[in-house]
A and B are shown apart, each in its own frame.
Chain A
Amino acid sequence: MNLKNIRNIAILVFFSLLLNIPMGQAQEKFFRAIGTPHEPEVAVSWNRYYTYEGVVDIMQKIAKAHPDLAKLESIGKSFQGKDIYLLTVSDFKSGDPSKKPAMYIDGNIHSNEIQGTEFSLYTAWYLTEMFDDLDFIRELLKDKTFYINPTINPDARNDYMNNPNTPHSPRSGMIVLDNDGDGKTGEDGFNDLNEDNHITMMIRKSPTGRYIKDQMDDRKLIRVAAEEKGEYEMLGYEGIDTDGDGEVNEDGIGYYDPNRDWGWKWQPDYVQRGAYKYPFSLPENRAVMEFVMNHPNIAGAQSYHNYGGMILRGPGAEEDKDTYNRDDVEIYDAIAKKGEEMIPGYRYLVVYKDLYSVFGGELDWFYGSRGVYTYSNELMVSYLYFHQNEGRGNQEEEMKVDRYLTFGDAFVDWREYDHPQYEKIEIGGFKKNFGRAHPGFLLEQDAHRNMAFTIYHAYHTPKISISDVKEENLGGGLKQITATIYNERLMPTHSSQDLKYKIERPDYVTISGANVVTGMVVNDVDFNKVEEQKVNPEKMLVKNIPGMNSVKVRWIVSGGGNYQIKVDSAKGGVAQWKK
C-alpha cells in the first residue's frame, strides 16, 4: 500500500468518525462483479463520453494512481495546439518498457468517431486497476508494453461535441480548406438554425414533394409510391446559403481525411479524396508517426473507428494486395477470427474487398511501412440493439430503439422554422450522438470486449526465451554450443513484410565469456545443415524467430568456462541465459 492510500484511508477514517459511520459498513455497499475492477483507485463512469479535457483528466488520474504501471507523456501538438497525450502502460519494475514487445492503440482519428477514445481509455484503466488482482494481467504487463493514445484528433473531437454537428461531422481535423474551389475557405458551413447543438434535417411542405409523415409515428418520413402524391420535400442538413452562390453547406470545416494522410502508397486528392498535401502533412499524424518510428518495439497496433462492427485489416486498395502475403495473412486470420468470437456482431473483413478503397490509411502504413500487424475495429453495430442485423441507418430499427430503449432521447421532434431562403420549413431528426455512437448502456460492454480483443492481439506479440543450450566436446580443446531460441506466441519477430524489405534490424544472438572460433545458424539439426556467419560470429544476426517455433544458433568455441547467451530482438524483447 502506498503512502497516498494510507493518507486517503486516514482521511476516510477521520470523516467516518466525524459522521459517526462505522468503517466496516462502507465496504459492504458493493459486491464484486466478475471481470470488472472492484473499487478502482480511479473511479470512471463508462456510460458516457468525455471531451478532450475529460480524457486528459482521466489519463492524469491513472498515471498518478499507478506510478509503477502508467506514465503520461505528450507526443506532440494538434493543429490548434492541444497536447496529444499518450499513456505507456507496463510493469515498470520489471524490465525496460521500450525493450518489451509493444501494442499501440489509438482512437478518434475521425473526429466524429468518438468512442475509440473511451475504449482506449478503458483499456488503460482496466490494465492498471486489475494488475494487483489477476495473474494474467501481471504477467502480461511484465512481458509487454501498451502505448495508449486515446484521441489523435483532439481539436475536432471537441468541435464534434461542443459545437453543432451531424453524426458525420466533422470527419476531418480543424484545418479549413477551400472545398468548392472559389478561393475562399470554410465560407459556407452548417448553421444550427434551431440552436440545439445538433445539425438535423430540413424538410418543407411542397406540392412536388415525394415524402409523407408516417401516420403511426409522425417523426418518421416515408417515401410515397411512384404514382402517389407526397407532401414533403427533403432540403438536407440544417443550413443557409451563407455566401450567396446558390449552394447550401458546400464549404465547412476541412475537408480532408486524416486517415488518407499516411505514408504508404499515398495518393493525391484526385485519386484519393481527402488526402492532404503529402504524407504526414497533418500535425497529429506526424506526432504519431514520429512516436512509432522511435518505438521499434511496437509489434501490434489497433486504430479504433466507427461504424459497423468490423475487425478490419488491409490492404486498403486492390493495387496493394500483393503487400499482404500468405504468411502474414495467416497470422492476421488467426487473431481476428478469435476476435469474431469475442465480440458478437463483429465480422473480420478486408478493407478494399469488403468496405471501400483507401489509399494512405493508417493501418496500411503500420503494416506496409513498419511491418506491424494492425487492425482497425469499426465500433458499434446495429446488432447490439436487438441482436438482429438490420444494417446501417435503418430508420425503422432506429425509431424502435428510440421508442423502447431510449424513450425519445435520440430524436429532435420536427418544429417549424422561418428560413431566409426556403421560407417556412421544419427542422428535426436524429441527434448527432445517435447512430454511430453507442448509447450509454451499450458502451461499457463493447469497450470491454474490444479491449479483450486487443489484449489477445498484444498477448500474441512475440515472446522469446532461450529454451535449451547443448554442449558437445569436439576434442582439441574445442566445444560446440547449440542454443535453441523459442518464440512461444503467434507473431514472428519480423513479419514477412518486414523480412522482405528489411524494415527492422535482425535479431542479435550474442555469446559472451567464450572464445568464439565461428558461429552459424542451424537450419536443420538432424542433417547438420548450417549457415555460417564469417564476420563477427560472437553476435549472430538472425533474420527472424518465427511464431510458435524456434531457431537454433551454434558456436564453436575454444576454452572458456562460464559463458552467457543473450537474445536482443527489437520486436521480440530480450532474453538471457547463463551457464
Chain B
Amino acid sequence: MNQNLIGLFAVAFFGIFSATAQQDYPTNREVAQRLQQMASSGNAKLISLTKTEGGQDIWALQIGKGDLENKPAIAVTGGVEGYHVLSVELALQVASRLLKDHAQLLETTTFYVFPNMSPDAYSQYFSDIKYERRGNSVKIDHDRDGRLSEDGYEDLNKDGFITKFRVESALGEYVPHEKDPRVLVKAENGSKSEPRYIMFSEGIDNDKDENYNEDPEEGVAFNKSLTYKFPAFEPYAGDFPVSQKESRALLDYLFERWNIFAFVTFSPANNLSAPLKFNKSDAEKRIVSSMLEKDVELNKMVSEIYNEIIPHKAYNQENQGTDGDYFQWAYFHFGRLSFSTPGWWVPEVKAEIKDSTETKKVKITPETNFLAWADKEELKNVFIPWQEVNHPDFPNHKVEVGGIKPFAMVTPPFSMVDSIAENHTNFIVKLAEIQPKLEFHNFKAEKLSGGLTRITVDLFNNSPLPTHSELGERSRWLQKLQITVNKDKKDILAGNTIKLVNKLGAYEKEPLSWIVKGVGTVDIKVGAPHTGYATMNVKL
C-alpha cells in the first residue's frame, strides 16, 4: 500500500482529526478533501465555481444557517497570490473554526469562503522545482515579443529550488551585506568593496535577449488582473482586466451576493495593521484613488480591533495594495468594506548592542532580518549556500547559485499556523459581531377618529458600522434600505407602501410614520440583503 492510499484511508476513517494531524501546508487535493469534510458537517455547502486552465477547482464554501442570502455576509478569500501558501491554510482553518466553535454566529451572519484563487500557481510549492509563482496555467507572452514562454526558470544546481545566481564581475552592482555576507545588497555609491556581483534569477537566457526568466511557463496572476488600476501590458496582468476563467467565475458569483458587507482577504497587502491613508485630492478625483474620508475612519476602527487581537507588531508592512489587486477591487469597484492581511510576517529582530563604540550603522534589510530571525528560531534549511556552477551564458566567469529559499520569507513554519488561524478567526468573529443591525424603537400606534391609525417608529442601526460605506453609497451593487408596508396603496393616507433610504450611519436613527385606514394587521419590513431585515407586525 503506498503512502497516498494510506493518506486517503486516514482521511476516510479519521477525517475529523486530519486537520490537527497535518504536518505541512495542504496540496490542492488535500484542500478539496478538507472542504468536502466541512461541507458534510451541515451548515456548509461546497460548490466549484469553475475549473482553471490547469484543471483545478475554484472552490466556494458557503457557511451559514437558514436564508443565507438575506443575512449580512463576510467573504473570506485565500490564495489571492499563488506563492502565499499560508493564506490558503488560514482560509481553511477560519472556515472550520467558524463551523466548529461559532455555530451561534451563523444565525446572524453568512460566510463565503474562497480558500484558493490561484490553485495552478499554488501547486508550484509542491512541485519538483519550487519557485514563488503567481501565474495560472494559461499561455501568456509576458515580454510581448511574439514568442510564448521562451525563457523560463532552470534549476542550475539541481536542488529543486529556484533561487538566484551571481556572477563575480567588476561591473557588478551587488556586494555582500556587511553583517551577513550571505545576503547581497546594492553597492552604495562610491563604495569600493570587493568582490562585486551581477545577480539574476536562477536560469539561462534561453532567447539571448539578456533578460533572465522574463517569459516563464505561467500565465496570469489573479491579484494583478482585476479592474482597479489594471496594469495594462505588464507581465502577469493579461490582455485586459478580468480575463481569466477563475476571476470571472468569482466575480460573477460575488455580483450575485448582494448580502456581502465586508471582505477579509489573506494576501500580501495589509490595511489591518494600519488603515489606508486618506488623500484628499485622490479622493475627490473622478476616478477615485484614495479611500474616502469616512471610510478611512471605519478602516481605522477595524484596524484597532485587529491590533487588539493580533499580538504581532507590524514590521515591513508597507504594502497597502498593488495595481489590479483583489482587496482594493472589493472596496473601490465593488463598494464593500475590504480588509487584507498577510496573516503573518517576519517579526523585527532587534540587533543586540554589544559594543557601544560601534559608530557606523549597518542597514538592516528584510533579508538580513529574516535570516537573523531564522537563526533565533533555529530554523534550518532556509538558505541555500552559494555554490559554484558552470553557466553557459558566462563561460569564463565564476558563477554561484544560492540565496534564501523560495517561500521561506512569506511562509511561517507550519507549527505556527494554528495560533495564527485562531487569532484571525477571532478577528473575523469580532467583525461579524459589529455588522450593521437594524432595529425598531419607540413604536407607537395611535388611533385617530374615523378608523385611522397613525404608526410611528424609529428605525435604528445598532452598530458602529454604517449600513453603507461612503463609497458603497455610490455603488449600484449595494441595495438601498427598503421600507415596505404590506397594505394597499389606497389605505395609506400618509407615507408610502415602499420607500428607499440611502443609508443609516453608525448608531443613527430614522423616524418613520404612516397614517393607515382600516382594521387588521400591517407588516413593516426594513432592510437590504447586506444589512439583514427588521420586521414588525402592527395591529390596527
| Residues of chain A at the chain B interface (Cβ within 8 Å) | 177-178, 180-183, 243-246, 263-264, 266-271, 277-281, 289, 293, 319, 357, 365, 368-369, 501-506, 534-535
Contacts and interface: CB of A to CB of B under 8 A. Distances in A.
A182 B255 contact: no
A246 B496 CA distance: 8
B333 A268 contact: yes
Interface string B135-155: 000000001111000000000
A181 B500 contact: yes
A12 to B, nearest CB: 53
Given A181-B478, A263-B241, A280-B240, 12 more contacts: A181-B480, A182-B479, A182-B498, A245-B497, A263-B243, A266-B241, A271-B286, A278-B227, A279-B227, A319-B286, A501-B144, A503-B144
B64 interface: no
A500 B251 CA distance: 31
Nearest to A243: B498
A19 B518 CA distance: 82
Contacts of A180: 500
Nearest to A280: B240
Given A182-B479, A267-B287, A535-B208, A278 B242 contact: yes
Nearest to B335: A270
B211 to A, nearest CB: 13
Nearest to A370: B239
Contacts of A279: 227, 240-242
Contacts of B474: 270
B379 interface: no
Leading 10 A-B pairs by shortest Cβ distance? A505-B146, A263-B240, A502-B144, A270-B474, A181-B480, A278-B242, A501-B233, A268-B333, A535-B208, A269-B476
Interface residues of B, number: 45
A182 B241 contact: no
A244 B486 CA distance: 12
Nearest to B477: A269
Interface string B248-272: 1001100100100000000000000
| SS of B interface (majority) | loop
Contact of A277 (B233, B255, B335, B529): B255
B475 A182 contact: no
A267 B500 CA distance: 26
B528 interface: yes
Contacts of B372: none
Contacts of A505: 145-146
A243 B500 CA distance: 13
A177 B498 CA distance: 19
Nearest to B475: A270
B322 interface: no
A480 to B, nearest CB: 24
Contacts of B146: 504-506
Contacts of B332: 268
A183 to B, nearest CB: 5
A289 B474 CA distance: 29
A369 B480 contact: no
Nearest to B288: A271
B31 interface: no
A369 B286 contact: no
Interface in B182-238: 207-209, 226-227, 230, 232-233
B36 interface: no
B482 interface: yes
B398 interface: no
B489 interface: yes
A175 B242 CA distance: 20
Given A267-B287, A505-B145, A181 B479 contact: yes
A367 to B, nearest CB: 13
A278 B209 CA distance: 36
A469 B256 CA distance: 63
Contacts of A177: 476
A269 B475 contact: yes
